[in-house]
Structure 1
Amino acid sequence: MADIVVPIVLENLIKLGTYEANLLLGVRDQVDTLESDLRFIKVFLKKSAGTRNDPFVEELVNQIRDAALGIEDVIDTYAARVIKERRRNLLGKLFHCFGHAMVLHGVANKTTRIMNKVENIYNNKEKYGIGEADQPSVDDEEPEQSSIERRRRNVEEDDVVGFEKDTATLIDQLINQINLQRDVITIHGMGGLGKSTLARKIYKDTRVVNHFACRAWVVVSQQWQAKTLLLDVLKSFKQISDETATAEELKTDLKDQLKGKRYLIVMDDIWSTQVWDEVRVAFPDESNGSRILITTRVRDVARHASPTPPHDLKLLDESDSWELLRKEVFRGRECPPDLTELGKKIAKSCGGLPLSIVLVGGTLAAEKKSHQVWLRFVANVNLYLKQGISFLTLSYDHLPPELKACFLYLGLFPEDSEINVRDLIELWIGEGLIQSDRSTSIYDVAEDYLEKLIDRSMIQVATNRLDGGVKTCRMHDLLRDLCIAESRRDKFFDTYSIDNSVSHNRNSRRLSIRHISAEFLNFDLSSSCARSLLFFGAGVDYSPICMSVWKHIYKFIRVLRLFGLEFKKIPSQIDELIFLRCLFIKRCRVDHVSSSIWKFRYLETLHLELESNRLLPKGIWSVMKHLRYLYMPGFAYYGSFHFSKPPLGEPFRNLQVLSWVDVNHNTALVIAKFPNLRKLGLHFYDAIEESEVENVMASIRKLESLQKFKIGCPTRHCSKVGSSLNLLPSALTKFSLTTSDTFNWDMLKFLARKPHLRVLKIHVRNAIGLHKLSVAAGDFPQLQALKLRGLNIQTLGMEKDAMPNLESLIFRGCEYLEYLQEDELLCRTNLKLVEVCGRRVPAKLKTVLTNFKNKSPAPPCKINITERQYP
C-alpha cells in the first residue's frame, strides 16, 4: 500500500540527491516540489490509517501509490540518461536535462492534482467520515513501556504448551525396541496446530539424538521435487560436490548411506501421497528400529504412508490456551489481576489454535496493558477469527509502515527457508526500508526492526548466535501466504517459478526467481519495473538463464542477489546497473567476474564468494565512497583477498563491515582509511614480517567503534598479536581466533580485562601439548559465551567471581578435558548451556557433568554431551 511505497520512494529520492548533488541540476525546483509532496502524503497516510475501510479513501490511497511509483520511474529514467550522457558529451547531457525537465514537470502537475484531492478530503474529513487511526503508532508509545515490550521473545520448543503427552507418546514410538521394523510415524492436524514445532522438539530430544546413529530433517512443502528432496536428505550425511545426478541415482546413493545404520528421517509438511511413493525405496528396512516421522495437514497422506493410525494433534483446551497466551504476552512477569479474565476470554476466542494464540499474544505484547485496551480487543478478536485468513491480517495491520515493508520482504524467500539475518538486514538497507537518523547506526535500527517483528510473533527465531542475537529466522506458511497476497496487490514484489510464471506482474518492484525452467529463457523481462532481483538456485548450471538476464538487463536495479547458482561469468553488461546499491553473489560457482563490478557509483553492500585468491583491483577504491559492507567469506583460512595501496585524501567513513582481508604491506594503511569499522576479519600469513603485524595491530587500536574482530593467525604471529590485544578498542564485544599447532595462552590474559567482551571463540587446528586452564577472579567480567575448539586442555578451573555473566560454555574437539570445577559452575546462576562434543568424552567429565546437572539450580542448565567426529 501507499504507506509502504511513499517512504521508500522518498528515501530513494533523498539518497539520489545526496549521492549526486549535481545530477538533478536544472530540474531542482521540480524535484523539491515532488519531495515536498511526498512528505505531505506521508503525513496524510499516517493520519488516515484508521479509515482504510472506506472505499473512497482506499481508492485514493491506491492512486497515491501509483503516483509515487510513477514519480520513481520518471526520476530514475531521467537520472539514468543524464549519467549515460556524461560519458558522451556536454551537448547531449544538456539536451536530455531539458527533455526530462519537461517530463518531471508533467509528473509534478499530476502529483499536485492528487495532492489537491488529498488536501480537500483532509479539510473535510468530517464530511467524508475520515478520522485518525484508533491504534497508537509505535512512535506514540511511552518510551519506558516500549522498551520493556520490545524484548526479544523467541518461540522455542521449550515454551510449547500442551504437548507433554504428545511428546512422550511419539518419543516412545520412535525409540521402543518392540517393533524393530522400519516404521513410519505421522503427525496430522490443521495448519497452525504446531505439528512442525512438536516434531522439532522431538527431533532435538536427547533420548532421540542418542538412540539413532544418524538423523535428517527435510521440509517438503507443496512445491516439491524428488531430486531436491533426496539431495536435502543426502546433504545431512555427506558433502555433495556434484548435484547433476538423477533422482534414481540419488535414491541408490541414499540407500547405500543408510545401510547398516539406525536412522531417523523427518519429512516435514507433506501435502501429496506421491511424495512417499517417490522416495520410500531410498529408505532401507533392516529391522534395526529405523524410523520416518512425517507431518502433514492431509489425512490421506498419513494413511497412505503408514498403516499405523496417525497421531492427531488436538486443539489446546482453555487452560493450556491461556497459559500459552500468558507466556507470549508477559514472558515471565505476572499478569495483572484485572486482566486475567479478559485474557482468558481472548485465549478462548482463539479456538485452541496455537498459531492464533501466538499471533494474538505478539499483538497484545506490543499494546498497552490496560483493561480498556484489552476490552476493545475482546470485542474485535472474534470478528477476525471468523474471517479465517483475515485473522492473520490483524497482526499485519497493527504493524507500523516501516515494519510492514520489512515483514513483506521476507516473502521473497522460498517457502520454509531459514533466512540468514545478517544477509536480510543488508537487503533491507539496500532496499531503503530502514530509516535512520545520523545519531543511530543503521544496523542498530535494522536489528530493532527485527526484534519488533519477533516480539509480535510475525517471524520466528530459527537459530541464535552465541551472544543471544538472532542468527537465522523463519516464517510460518500462513504468514508467508499473507505476505504474497499483500505484496501482489500492492506491487511490492512478485515471484517467478515454474508454477506461477503467467501471474508475474510487470509492475512489481521486486522479483524473486526460483525453481525456474527453460521457459524462463523466453520470458521477456525488459519491460519489468523491478528494482530488485533475487535469484534462488539449486546448484545447477544457470549460465543460459543468467545470460538471458544480462541480455534483458534491468537498468534500474538497486538490489541483485545471486544465490546457489552456477554460471561461467558475470559479463561486462552488468555495468548497465548504474543504480546498483546491493550486490550479493553467494554460494555461486563463478569462473569469471567482470572488472565492471568495481565501477558502481552507488554501491553500499558487496558480498562476494569467489574461489580465488586475488589482489583487489585499484578500481575498488572508486566504489569505497558509499560502500558500507564488504564481505568475501568462506576462504579466510585458505587465502581471501588483499588491497592495493589506498589513495591519498579523506578517509572512507561509511565502511562498517570488512571481512576477510589477507594482511600485506598495505593493510595498516587500508585500515586507517576506515575509521568507523564495526566488524573486521583479518588473515595473517606465515610470510608476513613481524613489523607488518605490529603496524596492523597498531592501526586497529584506533578503531574506536570496532565491536567484532576475527583473526586467522599462524602460530609464529600469535605472540605479537596477543601482546597487542590489551590495546584493542574498549567497545569490542566479540573476538574470534583460529590458529594452528600451539595456542599462546597469554592471549587470554590480555582479553580477560576487556570491559565489554561478551563472546570469545578460540579454534586451534592440530593442537599439540596438554594444558590446564585457570580463570582468575575478576577476569572476563561481561563474557556470556566461551567456545573452545580443538584445545588440548585437561582441566578448567575458575575462581570465584570469574566470568560472572557466563551463559554458554562450549567445548568441541577438546578430547583431553577431564575436569570442570563443578562447585564454581553451580555458583553461576546465569549458566544456560554446557556443551561437550568430540570423538570421545572422558568418563570423568561425564560424571562431573551428570552431577552438575542434578545439582544445578532452577532454571536447570542444559547439558549436551555428544560423541561423534566433529567436522
Structure 2
Amino acid sequence: MAVSAYAALLSLTHVLDNVQHPTRRHRLLVDINRIQILQEKVNFLRDFLEVHSQGKSQQVEDLARQIVVVADEAEDIIDSHVVDQLRDGSRDQSHATITTSSFCQDIDKVIEKIDLIKKDLMIVKEEWGDVQEQKPVASASVRSSSSGKNTMVGFDEHLLRIIDELTRDESNLQILPIVGMGGIGKTTLARNAFDHPYVVNRFDICIWFTISQVYNVREILLHYLNDGKDEESNESLARLGEKLHKKLFGRRYLIVMDDVWSTKAWDDFSLFFPNNGNGSRVLMTTRLSKVGGSLGTHNPYLMDFLNEEKSWNLLCEKVFGQNDCPYSELEKVGKDIAKGCKGLPIAIVVISGLLARTDMKQERWEHIARNVASFASSKDNRHCLEILSLSYNNLPIHLKPCFLYMSAFPEDSKIKVSRLIKLWVANGYSKPERGKNLEEIAMEYLEDLIDRNLILISERTDGGKIRSCSIHDLLRNLCLRESKKEHLFRVSKTQRIRILPQEKNVCFTCGERASPQESIDVPEILVGSRSTLVASGLVCDTCKRKHQHLDIFRWVKLFGQSCEKLRQHTKLRLIDVRTSVFWYRTLSKFEFVPSSSIPLLWNLQTLLIDGSGANVKKRPIVVPSKVWEMPQLRHIVMDLGFLPTPVDTQDTITLENLQTLSTMHNFRCTKEVFERIPNLKKLKARYLNVKDWSFYCLHNLAHLHRLESLSLIAEDLLLEKTAFPTSLKRLSLSKCRIPWGHITIIGSLLPNLEVLKLLNNAFRGSEWSPVEGQFPRLKVLFISDSDLVSWRADDFHFPHLESLFLRLMHKLEEIPSGIGHIETLRSIHLNKCSELVVNSAKQILEEQSSYGNELEVRVDRKKVSVDDS
C-alpha cells in the first residue's frame, strides 16, 4: 500500500498548492495557517515513504492504508469546501463564517489523525534504526541507452535462418511460425528480419499486424489501410478485407502476425491473403507450440534460450554498451547474474536496466545476484515475473505509480507520449520541483523508466523526440499484479465486475451500445485516480447503479451520442466534481454543462474536444468565455475551436499554467489575451476568410516569450504583419502563399528554430535562395506541396540539418548537392516527388556512401540502397 499512499499524498499536495495560491476573482475563504500546517504534515509522510518504502514491514503496510484514508478524506474536505464557495458565490458573512468554521474543524481532525500516524511511523523508524536515503554515489556509473534499438546479441544465427526461410525459392504462400515463451525474443527476431534490407528489397509490400489475445480484425485492417491514422469509418469488415486483398493481389508480400494466441486469428485474417504464387510469406510469432505446429507450412521455428556466453554478451551490451565488462571485479558476479536469468532475453534486458542505474560496486551486484539466483532457480512458471519484480522493487517510489499506470493500456498498445504525460499529471503523479512544470517532471519520469528498460520507445518524431512508447507483455502483467496488490486501481475488460469498498479506483470498459466483442476491445482504456469512475464509451444506467459510490470523474472519454447522457448523469454532481481531463468527440457545440457551472470544475487541467466525426465538418466549437476563470487549465486541444476574447474586469485571472492552445479558429492575438497566458508553449491556429490581418494582431505573438511550438494555417498570410518570439523551436506554416523572398524574416528572427514545416503552399514562387547564417540550429526541414522549381542552397545555409522531408514536390528540379555535404545530415525522406528529385537524392546517397558516411534515403517510405542509386 506504500505506493497508493504516496500517490494519494501527491494528489493531496497538488490540491493544497492550488488552495494556497488561488488566482481567481473570488478569493477562497480558508485558514491558510491550517492549510500550511497540513502541508507540513503531508510533506513529512511523503518524505518518510520516499526513504522507507522499500521495506516489507506489515506495520508500514497498515500505516500506509491509514495514510490513503486520511489523504482522501483531506482532499474531500478541501474540494467540498472550495466547490461550495464557488457554487454559492455568497456574500453573506455569517454563512461564510459558519462554513469556514466547519472546514477548520474538519481540517483539525485530519491533522490529529496524521499526528497519530506520524507517531507510529517514528516508532517504526526507531525499531528499524537509521535508514540512509538512497542517493546517487560519486563512483563509476554507466547509463543504458534509450535509443529504442533492439539489440540482437545472440540472435545472429536465428536472423540468418529466418531470412533464408523468407527468401528461398518457393512460389506458394508460406507460413513460418516462430514459437517460444514470452520474452524469449520472438518479436525482436521478427522485427529485425522485417526491417532487414535484403527482406525489404525482396518484397513489394511488407505489413506488420500485432494480434494479441484480444483483437479486432476490423480495427486492425482499418488502422493499416488508413496509414496508421485513427480515423473513423463506417466500412464493413468485408469491404476492408476486400481492399486489403486487392492491395496484395499480384504483388509479392510479407505479412508479420505478431503475438498469435489461437488458430482462429489465422482463420480471421487468412481469407484476405491471396496466394499469388510469387513467393509471398507470412511470418508469425506465438507462445503456443500447438498453434505454430498446426499453422506452419513446415515445422515451426523454435526459439531456444541464450547460452551463458550469449547471455553475458547481451548483458554487457545493455549495461556497458560493449561486448565485455570494463570492471574486472564485476565480471564474475556479472556472469552469475546473466546465468541466473536462464537465457531469457527479456529478463536479461530488464535486469541490465537495473544494473546500469546501479553503482558499479561488487557488493551491490552481489546483492542483486543473490536475488536473481533465487528467483531463477524456482520451478514456478512465474519465475520471470519474479525477476521482473526485482526491477520494480528497486524503483524509487516516485516512479512506481507512473509505471503501474501502464497496465491501464491494452496489451501491445502504442501509447502516445503526449497523452501519457497529460494523464500522469492529471492523476497528480508529478512531484512538484522548483523551476520545472509538471509536464517536464513527468517527461523526466518517462525517460528514467525508458533508461531502466521498463518502458520501450515505439516511435520518434521528425525532431527525434519520443512520440509513442509501449510496455512488454510480461511487464504489463507485473503492473497488473502490483496494482491490484496496492489497490491503486483495478483494470477490467467488462463492466460486469464486483468492486470492493477499498477498490474505488477502477478502469473498465462500459459499452451499452457496443457489441460483445467490441465491449472488450476498446482501444482507449481510461484510468481514474481515487474515487474515480472510468468509462470507455457510454456510461450506462447499469454502471451508474452498480458503481454509484464512484461519483467523481477524473478522466472521462466519450464517443458519439454519449455526451448528452453524461451531462444528465453529472449535472447534479457537479458540486463534487474533481475533473482533471474531459475528452469530447463529435460535438458541434459545447453543451455538456451550463456555462455558469464551468468554474466549479476548479481542478480542470485538460480539455480535449475532438469534432472530427461531427456531421458539420470544420465547424468551430464555441468554447464559453468562462474557461478564462479556470486557473488550473494546462491544455485546451480541439479539432477546431473558437475561444472568445476574455471580458475585461478589474480583477482579471491569469492562466499561468496554460501551455497548449490547439486548434483555434481566427484567434485574436491581442496583448490583453497574451498577458493572461504568459507561459503558453504551444499554439496552433487556423485563419479563414481574413480580410484585415491587422485585426488579429499577429505581431503580438512576439510577446509569448515561452512559446516553443507555433502552427499557423492561414491563407495568404501577410508575414510583414506577423512577429515571432525568439523562443520558437518549432514552426509550421500552411496555405500561407508567402513569397519565398520573405522567408528571410523567419530565418533572421528565429535563432533557436529546430523544426521548420512549410506545408500546402506555405511559400510561393519558383526560386528559393537561402541566406547564410539564418538557420543556425535548424535540424528538420519539411517542405510539402510547393511550386518551387529551383532551390539554390549549400551546406552552410543549414549547418546542423539532420533530416530533410520533401512531399509532393513535382516541379522541383533537384535537391541541391550541397545539402549532401552537411555533416549532421542523417536522412532524406521523399514522398510523391518528381523523378528528378529522386535521382538527385540517390546521387547524394552514392556520393556520401563513397566517403564512408551514413545516410538514409527513403522514397515513398521504402529505404533506398546504394545499389539502387
Shared fold per TM-score greater than 0.5: yes
> CA 1:384–1:784 in structure 2 vs 1: closer, same or farther (change >3 Å)?
farther
Q: Equivalent residue for 2:645?
A: 644
Q: In the aligned structure 1, how far is the partner of 2:851 from the partner of 2:544?
A: 59
Aligned to 1:49: 53
Q: Which amino acid aligns with 2:609?
A: L
Indicate how the Cα distance of structure 1 residues 207 and 648 shifts in structure 2: closer, same or farther if over 3 A, else same: farther
Structure 2 residue 44 is matched with structure 1 residue 40? yes
Q: CA deviation at 1:454?
A: 0.8
Note the alpha carbon deviations across 1:262-317, whole angstroms, 9 max, x for none.
Answer: 44332211112222233322323232433322211111111122232222223334
Alignment of 1:53-64 (within 5 A): 54-64=57-67
- Is the CA contact (8 Å cut-off) linking 1:491 and 1:505 kept in structure 2? no
Q: Does structure 2 conserve the Cα–Cα contact (< 8 Å) formed by 1:49 and 1:132?
A: no
User: Residues of 2 paired with 1:756 and 1:334: CA distance?
Assistant: 41
Q: Counterpart of 1:379?
A: 370
- Corresponding position of 2:865: none
User: Whole-Å Cα distance in 1 between the matches of residues 636 and 545 of structure 2?
Assistant: 24
Does 2:837 correspond to 1:835?
no
Deviation at 1:417, TM superposition (A): 0.9
Matched, 1:156 2:149: yes
Structure 1-normalised TM-score? 0.84
Q: 1:654 to 1:67 in 2, by over 3 A?
A: closer
The percentage of aligned residue pairs carrying the same residue is 26
Q: Give the distance between the partners of 1:564 and 1:165, measured in 2 at CA.
A: 49
CA distance in 2 between partners of 1:655 and 1:314 (Å): 52
Query: Alignment length, in residue pairs?
Result: 828
User: What residue in structure 2 maps to residue 525 of structure 1?
Assistant: none
**Residue 295 of structure 1 aligns with which residue?**
285
Paired residues of 1:82 and 1:97 also in contact (CA < 8 A): no
> Partners in 1 of 2:753 and 2:276 — Cα distance?
51
Matched with 1:190 is 181
Q: Quick check: 1:844 aligned with 2:835?
A: no
Give the corresponding residue for 1:657. 660
Q: TM-score, normalised by structure 2?
A: 0.84
Q: For 1:179, give the aligned amino acid.
A: E
> Is the CA contact 2:70–2:114 (under 8 Å) kept in the aligned structure 1?
yes
Q: Distance in 2 between matches of 1:237 and 1:704?
A: 35
* Aligned counterpart, 1:673: 676
Matched, 1:266 2:260: no
- How far the C-alpha of 1:668 sits from its partner, in A, is 5.3
Question: CA, structure 1 residues 366+320, in 2 after alignment: closer, same or farther (shift >3 Å)?
Answer: same
**Counterpart of 1:275?**
265
Residue 307 of structure 1 aligns with which residue?
297
For 2:635, the aligned partner's letter is: Y
Separation (CA, whole Å) in 2 of partners of 1:109 and 1:591: 48
Partner of 2:717: 717
* More moved, 369-378 vs 779-788: 369-378
Equivalent position SS for 1:806: coil
User: 1:73 & 1:663 partners in 2: Cα distance?
Assistant: 40
Task: Note the C-alpha offset of 1:83.
Answer: 5.6
- Partners of 1:763 and 1:172 in 2: how far apart? 43
> What residue is the counterpart of 2:704 in the other structure?
703
2:350 is equivalent to residue 350 of structure 1:
no
Residue 336 of structure 2 contacts residue 369 of structure 2 at CA under 8 Å; is this kept in 1? yes
- Residue ranges of structure 1 left out of the alignment (5+ in a row): 523-527
Instruction: Kindly provide the CA deviation profile for residues 179-204 of structure 1, in whole angstroms up to 9, marking residues without a partner as x.
Output: 22222221221111222223233334
- The amino acid that maps onto 2:710 is F
Residues 426 and 581 in structure 2, CA contact (< 8 A), matched pair in contact too: no
Tell me which of 321, 326, 341 is aligned to 1:336.
Answer: 326
Partner of 2:866: none
1:10 aligned to which of 3, 9, 12: 12
Check the 8 A contact 1:795/1:817 in 2, yes or no. yes
Once residues 261 and 240 of structure 1 are traced to their aligned partners in structure 2, the CA distance between those partners, rounded to angstroms, is 27
Instruction: Indicate the residue corresponding to 2:306 in structure 1.
Output: 316
Contact 2:333 2:369 in 1 (8 A): yes
Cα pair distance change 1:33/1:235, threshold 3 Å: same
- Structure 1 position 628 matched with structure 2 position 626: no
Report SS of the residue matched to 1:717.
coil
1:365 to 1:223, Cα distance in 2 relative to 1, 3 A = same
Question: Is 1:758 matched with 2:758?
Answer: no
Q: Is the 8 A contact 1:76 1:556 kept in 2?
A: no
The question of whether the paired residues in 2 share the 8 Å contact of 1:602 and 1:623 is answered with no
Is it true that 1:401 corresponds to 2:434 in the alignment?
no
| Counterpart check, 1:603 vs 2:601 | no
The aligned residue for residue 126 of structure 2 is 123
Say which of 420, 427, 433 aligns to 2:429: 433
For 1:534-545, list aligned pairs within 5 A: 534-536=534-536, 542=538, 545=540
Q: Residue 180 in 1 paired to residue 151 in 2?
A: no
Q: Find the aligned partners of 1:453 and 1:562 in 2 and give their Cα distance.
A: 27
Distance 1:85 1:791, change over 3 A: closer
Whole-angstrom CA distance in 2 between matches of 1:352 and 1:757: 47
One-letter amino acid of the structure 1 residue matched with residue 448 of structure 2 = K
Give the corresponding residue for 1:420: 416
CA distance in structure 1 between the aligned counterparts of 2:333 and 2:792, rounded to whole angstroms:
52
In the superposition, relative to structure 1, how do residues 61 and 442 fare at CA in structure 2: closer, same or farther (>3 Å)?
Answer: closer
Contact 1:416 1:474 in 2 (8 A): yes
User: In the aligned structure 1, how far is the partner of 2:79 from the partner of 2:790?
Assistant: 64
**CA separation in 2, counterparts of 1:327 and 1:563?**
45
CA distance in 1, matches of 2:415, 2:670: 33
Aligned pair 1:785/2:780, yes or no?
A: yes
> Alpha-carbon deviation of 1:536?
4.1
Distance 1:691 1:75 in 2: 46
Asked if structure 1 preserves the Cα contact closer than 8 Å seen for 2:760 and 2:785, the reply is yes
Q: CA deviation at 1:708?
A: 1.1
Q: Distance in 1 between matches of 2:231 and 2:42?
A: 51
Q: Find the aligned partners of 1:665 and 1:105 in 2 and give their Cα distance.
A: 48
Cα distance in 2, alignment partners of residues 465 and 92 from structure 1: 55
The equivalent residue for 1:616 is 622
SS of the residue aligned with 1:224?
Answer: coil
Aligned residue identity for 2:154:
G
Instruction: Give the AA of the match of 1:189.
Output: G
Q: Find the aligned partners of 1:707 and 1:630 in 2 and give their Cα distance.
A: 16
Alignment deviations for residues 231-288 of structure 1 (CA, whole Å, 9 cap, x no partner): 555555999754474x566555654554444443322111122222333223232324
Quick check: 94-103 or 311-320, which moved more?
A: 94-103
SS of 1:17's equivalent in the other structure is helix
Q: Distance in 1 between matches of 2:164 and 2:791?
A: 37
Q: 1:756 to 1:33 in 2, by over 3 A?
A: closer
- The code of the aligned residue for 1:161 comes to V
Task: Give the conservation status (yes or no) of the 8 Å contact 2:848–2:855.
Answer: yes
Deviations for 1:64-84, whole angstroms, at most 9, x for unmatched residues? Answer: 444444544555556556665
Match of 2:451, as an amino acid? Answer: D
2:322 is aligned with 1:360:
no
Determine if contact 1:188/1:195 at 8 Å carries over to the other structure: yes
Take 2:339 and 2:277, find their aligned partners in 1: how far apart are those partners?
A: 46
Structure 2 distance, partners of 1:78, 1:560, is 22
The separation in 1 between residues aligned to 2:587 and 2:546, in whole angstroms, is 20
Q: Residues 23, 411 of structure 1: CA spacing in aligned structure 2 closer, same or farther, 3 A cutoff?
A: farther
- For residue 401 of structure 1, give the secondary structure of its aligned residue in structure 2: coil
Counterpart residue number, 1:132:
131
Aligned CA distance change for structure 1 residues 2 and 240 (closer, same or farther; 3 Å): closer
Is 1:462 matched up with 2:464?
Answer: no
Q: Which is bigger in relative contact order (C-alpha 8 A, separation at least 6)?
A: 2
Structure 1 residues 291-348: Cα deviation after superposition (integer angstroms, max 9, x where no partner): 3222111111111222322222233344443343333223479953434554444333
Structure 2 letter corresponding to 1:863:
V
512 and 58 in structure 1: CA distance in 2 versus 1, 3 angstrom threshold: closer
Preserved contact between residue 567 and residue 591 of structure 1 (Cα < 8 Å)? no
| Alpha-carbon RMSD | 3.9
